[in-house]
Amino acid sequence: MVFALVDCNNFYVSCERVFEPSLAQQPVVVLSNNDGCIIARSDEAKALGIPMGAAVHEYAAALKRHKVRVFSSNYPLYGDMSGRVMESLGQFTPDVEVYSIDEAFLGLNGFAETALPQHMRDMRQAIGQWTGIPVSVGVAATKTLAKLANRIAKKYTSDGVYMMTDPVLMTRILSDIAVEDIWGISRRWGERLRAMGIKTALQLQRANPQQIRKALSVVGERIVHELNGISCLELEAVQAKQNIMSSRSFGRLISDRSSIEEAAASYTARAAEKLRKQNSLATGIYVFIRTNRFRTQDPQYSNAALIQFDEPTADTSTLIAAATRAIQQLYRPGFRYHKAGVMLTDLVADGKEQKSLWRLDGLTANGVATDAASKRRMAMLDQVNAMMGRGTLFHASEGIKPGQQNRAIAADKPGWHMRQQFRSPSYTTRWADLIVVR
């Protein structure tokens, strides 16, 4: 297995630079909505000690003193540039998983090992030429390692490409990486691991997977395997969202109900648009409102409601009516509200027919069939996988019946081979339905 992680450097800043070359070599930052905090920094701005997520007001003086160029965020622009980068990547390998607005995983099986470094350098150079966006490329045996390789590429290489292949070098690199810097390990889990004496990526790599599972669930166990070069996380095809959210802080404090209803209606309209764009229907709408938690001197209130529909819908006025009802339910007079949002939940495909083929049972912790009948079904499954190819088989995990709305079907993950679900050596699945979506 060979994966690459391609990451756009300081993406939002790089986008601004494409359209304003005078920003090159200058300290630049991009701000969040309402210009509240800093969400992207150029290398020069990072060097000035401006942290990610910093409140603008706290750094206003520093920004001015160092003549930092400051931009409000321009999401349509970033979305468009992201699309160009991703499309360009497709010229270099068919297997592209768009992971976020500025990152993609590539599947590189089938490329000759000796040709790969040059291929990656060519790719990086072409992306720069075609889009103006500088990227870094990390290559390794698993996604988790490719993430780490990408860090090395960014920090230490001159050509922006790092191949993590030499085991000796890899040991040295892992011993230098704090456990919280691993993809999937953040503060809480980092604290837990440190309490167990695991402080570096190398120590986690050498830890007992069962023990890690106890502490961090199957998700943590997968990370251990991934660090050891055993791939548990496959490349995923582009999939429809399961939930669509739209929320904003108001930019000022609001006390009257009708203004909040108005805001909720406009968020709902935005979300409904995204919903229709991906050809889905919502089965519910979740609405929340809250006061400003940073204003500790104010009385605080935060609440949410979930309204479920009898029939899944994508109709804007139905959705807005539900959101308005929710706000009426949630609103309490006497508070100064700061933020509201809606989430369209448990989305289902619009107009697709679902049909269960058969059920696999007798699956054990490994997802390996134990009895003869199940073994036969697994063998059939392999055949079906081979016949239908990627993009046709869908998988619904335990407890799910055909035609019923549920998370897995709503996820519509094309290209999932059944085996993949069981990749983690200790994944617990008792049975599964095979589903085909026409």
Q: Read off the amino acid at residue 222.
A: R
Residue number, 120 or 363, with CB nearest to DNA: 363
Tokens of 374: 């199940």
Name the minimum Å distance from CB 179 to DNA: 10
Sign of the CA dihedral running 80, 85, 90, 96: negative
Angle of helix 316-330 relative to helix 257-277, nearest 10 degrees, comes to 140
Residue number, 66 or 423, with CB nearest to DNA: 423
Sheet hosting strand 161-163, strand order edge to edge: 96-100, 103-107, 3-8, 135-140, 161-163
Residue number, 111 or 431, with CB nearest to DNA: 431
What phi and psi values does residue 431 have, to the nearest 5 degrees? -155, 170
C-alpha to C-alpha distance for 295 and 281, rounded to whole angstroms: 38
Q: DSSP letter at 52?
A: T
HSE toward the beta carbon, residue 65, CA cutoff 13 A: 7
Tokens of 284: 């519910």
Residue number, 183 or 331, with CB nearest to DNA: 183
Residue number, 40 or 163, with CB nearest to DNA: 40
Residue number, 101 or 126, with CB nearest to DNA: 101
Q: How big is the chain, counted in residues? A: 438
Do residues 139 and 2 make contact, with C-beta atoms less than 8 angstroms apart?
Answer: yes
Residue number, 124 or 143, with CB nearest to DNA: 143
Name the minimum Å distance from CB 387 to DNA: 25
Name the minimum Å distance from CB 92 to DNA: 20
Name the minimum Å distance from CB 17 to DNA: 18
Residue number, 116 or 237, with CB nearest to DNA: 237
Residue number, 30 or 119, with CB nearest to DNA: 30
Name the minimum Å distance from CB 216 to DNA: 8
Question: Could you tell me the CA-to-CA distances from 49 to 187, 226, 233 in Å, in that order?
Answer: 21, 33, 35
C-alpha to C-alpha distance for 39 and 29, rounded to whole angstroms: 7
Tokens of 143: 């996604």
Name the minimum Å distance from CB 324 to DNA: 18
Name the minimum Å distance from CB 245 to DNA: 3
Neighbour-count burial of 102, counting CB atoms closer than 10 A to its CB (0-12 exposed, 13-18 middle, 19+ buried): buried
Tokens 């006025």 sit at which residue?
A: 317
Residues forming contacts to DNA in the complex (CB under 7 A) are 32-34, 36-37, 39, 53, 55-57, 60, 99-103, 147, 183-190, 217-219, 241-249, 251-253, 267, 274, 292, 294-295, 306, 308, 338-339, 341, 343, 398-401, 404, 406-407, 411, 428, 430-431
176 three-state secondary structure: coil
C-alpha to C-alpha distance for 138 and 145, rounded to whole angstroms: 8
Name the minimum Å distance from CB 57 to DNA: 3
Name the minimum Å distance from CB 52 to DNA: 8
